[in-house]
Amino acid sequence: MRLFFATTAMGIVLAGSAFAAELTVGAANVTGYVDPGRDHSNVGSQFYYNTFDTLIEKNYDKLQGEFRPGLATEWKLVEPKVMELKLRQGVTFHNGEAMTADDVVFSLNRMYQATFPPYQVRARDRLENFEKAEKVDDYTIRIHVKREEPLWETLLNLQQVMIIPEDYTKGLTGDPKVAENDDFEAFSLKPVGTGPYAITQLVPGETLVWERYDGFWGEKAPLDKITVKHMPETASRITALKTGEADLITNIAPDQLALIEADPALKAVGSATALFHVMIMNVNHPVLKDPRIRQAMSLAIDRDTLNEALWLGKAIVPASHTMEEFGPLYMPELKTFEYNPEKAKQLLQEAGYKGEEIVYTTFPTYYTNGLLAAQAIVEMWKEVGINGKVNVVDKWTGGDPDMMARNWSNPMYFADPFGSFGVMWAPKGPSESEGRFNTDEAYAEIWERFRFSKDIEVRKAAYAELMERIRQDPPMLPLYRPYESWAMNKNINWAPKPGHIPYVLDFRAGSISFASN
């Protein structure tokens, strides 16, 4: 009885045939605005890559960075702290305007010299080292950094420095010659980029529609139209896929995979997302001041069992805060975190732990399996004698001095330890600033070497030192890289590409196709 929906299901036809190729995506979350600059959320990251381009592209089929020309065709350092980039000619924005150096300089400086507060916030944690961009001629620009930058390509490949049109943006509100805050606010509801799909409809939080942009500079998009609809309930999403209301759905928890596999018309693909679910511990909480208590909290957690039970063994349990995507800086040999209940018991005894209640706070639904993991962790604590309690709140409590332990995530914002561990745990970064993590001069000195050395080996050694500091006085424990799945009709060939940051819905040429059946 798929009868009622035969018409919607018919929407998908072979690419290249005379019919329109359309796709309906059922997403657990649809973004409330589309502005790659101010955003680094998991919800938003789904939507940027189809719509916008960066100056430097990457081969996303590969796990590790293999950079290639994007809106810039070539780039070279002209001075130790100045990069010159040649821009691609003949690129147009979705509104028809040609892209020139002015647009690129505007886009970069909206972050590098941000005046709009949401941009300032996003720029500070990752683009602090970038001073300014300037125009040389219509198709040449220069970027100045404050200190020599070892991560040029990586940081020019960021979602935050995707290119947007200058005149269009400035003209949205007020004075068309000036970039006011309201212009950026307006842009986020009427986004325009250079990507293969243009956003033709945005009902914030509910619906987003992409249509193929025929003026795209690269290989034309394979789909005519993609409609992303908000379907918050897991059961509804799966049902929608079965009834043909959706062709592809996001965020399927491992427990639901069996449902997809049981239906011969459907399939699921997934990957261990480049993101850690972490447990953070407040090093300044009176009960947790002794690092041995926090070590015990960490040693008591059997992450492999969590993985087996909650993720069907498909998640990745890390030995350190490290990911394969980091390339040469991937250091699985570091043994920063382990499971050792005996040692946990011993440390608790040495620290003189007297059964004070330790509260583990969790969001109710924000992280897949977050609430289940919280309950399981507290039970594991009980095994070693920690008197734990689960506290469910839908507020962020990371800056609350009473917070003892809670769940959080450390996404890989870009493929470098700096883009994952670094964003969250830098000296004076968010964690320290929220008062639950302390750094000292020694930490800052190691950090300097890790962040700015141009010698990979020096960076590696420094990172190992940082991890050793984390091991001895732990402010957190990465639990696992969660396994995320997408489900779709069998005739769709789509899978998340390993080179992307988490959750990107990539429907560009070469990323999606339809099997003939």
Partner 1 sequence: MAEATFHGRTARPAGIAALRRIWREANGLQRAALCIGLALLAVAAFAPLIAPHEPTAQSLIARLRPPIGFERFKEGYLLGTDELGRDVLSRSLHGLQLTLVLAMLGASIGLVLGGGLGLLSGIAGGTVDDIVMAAVDAQIAIPFTLIALLVLAIFGSSIEVMVLVLGLYGWEQYARIVRAEVRRLMQMPFVEAARAAGATGSRIAFRHVLPNTVSPLVVQFTLAISNIVLLESTLSFLGIGVQPPTATLGSMVGIGRDYMPTAPWIVVVPAAMILLVTFTVQILGDWLRDRTDVRLIDR
Partner 2 sequence: MLRHVLRTLTKMAVTLFAIVTLVFFATRLSGDPIDFVVGQGITQEDRELLTRYYGLDASIWEQYWRFLGSFVDGQFGLSFVERRPVGEIVAERIWPSLQLLLAGISFTVLVSVPLGILAAIHRRTWIGSAIMTIAFVGYAVPNFVLAVFMVLIFAFTLNWLPVVGNSTPWHFIMPTIALSGTLIAALTRFTRNAMLDVLSQDFMRTARAKGLPEHTVILKHGFSNASITVLSVLGLQIAGLAAAGNVVVEAIFAWPGIGDLLVNAAILRDFPVLQFAVLAVAFAVIVVNGAIDIAYGYADPRIRLGSA
Q: Per CB under 8 A, does 181 bind partner 1? A: no
Q: Per CB under 8 A, does 203 bind partner 1? A: no
In the complex with partner 2, the residue whose CB is nearer, 139 or 168, is 168
- Show contacts with partner 2 in window 156-185 (CB under 8 A): 181, 185
Name the nearest CA neighbour of 131 among 116, 153, 148. 148
Q: How many other C-beta atoms lie within 10 A of the C-beta of residue 293? A: 24
In the complex with partner 1, the residue whose CB is nearer, 33 or 366, is 366
Give the Cα separation of 52 and 72 in Å (integer): 14
Q: Per CB under 8 A, does 441 bind partner 2? A: no
- Show contacts with partner 1 in window 326-365 (CB under 8 A): 364-365
* 399 close to 434: Cβ distance less than 8 angstroms: yes
Minimum distance, C-beta of residue 406 to partner 1, in the bound complex (Å):
13
Q: Per CB under 8 A, does 402 bind partner 2? A: no
- Decide: helix, strand or coil at residue 93: coil
DSSP H helical segments within 337-480, as ranges?
341-351, 370-384, 421-425, 430-433, 441-452, 456-472
Round the CA-based radius of gyration of the chain to a whole number and report it: 24
Q: Where are the beta strands (DSSP E) in 384-516?
A: 388-392, 405-411, 476-480, 483-489, 492-494, 512-514
One-letter amino acid at 396 equals W
Give the Cα separation of 63 and 54 in Å (integer): 18
Minimum distance, C-beta of residue 495 to partner 1, in the bound complex (Å):
24
Minimum distance, C-beta of residue 265 to partner 1, in the bound complex (Å):
16
In the complex with partner 2, the residue whose CB is nearer, 174 or 232, is 232
- Show contacts with partner 1 in window 392-411 (CB under 8 A): 392-395
Q: Per CB under 8 A, does 265 bind partner 1? A: no
* 237 close to 251: Cβ distance less than 8 angstroms: yes
Parallel, antiparallel, or unpaired for β 130-137 and 358-362? unpaired
Q: What is the DSSP letter of 327?
A: G
Q: Give the range of 226-234, 268-276, 308-316, 350-358 binding partner 2 by CB under 8 A.
A: 226-234
- 70 burial (CB, 10 Å; 0-12 / 13-18 / 19+) is buried
Minimum distance, C-beta of residue 231 to partner 1, in the bound complex (Å):
13
Q: Give the range of 186-194, 308-316, 320-328, 478-486 binding partner 1 by CB under 8 A.
A: 308-316
The binding site for partner 2 (CB under 8 A) comprises 1-2, 4-5, 26, 32-33, 38, 40-41, 117-118, 120-121, 124-125, 181, 185, 188-189, 203-206, 229-233, 235-240, 242-243, 245-246, 394-396, 398-399, 408, 424, 428-431, 433-434
Enumerate binding residues for partner 1 (CB under 8 A). 233-235, 238, 253, 255-256, 258-259, 305-306, 308-310, 364-365, 371-372, 375-376, 378-379, 390-395
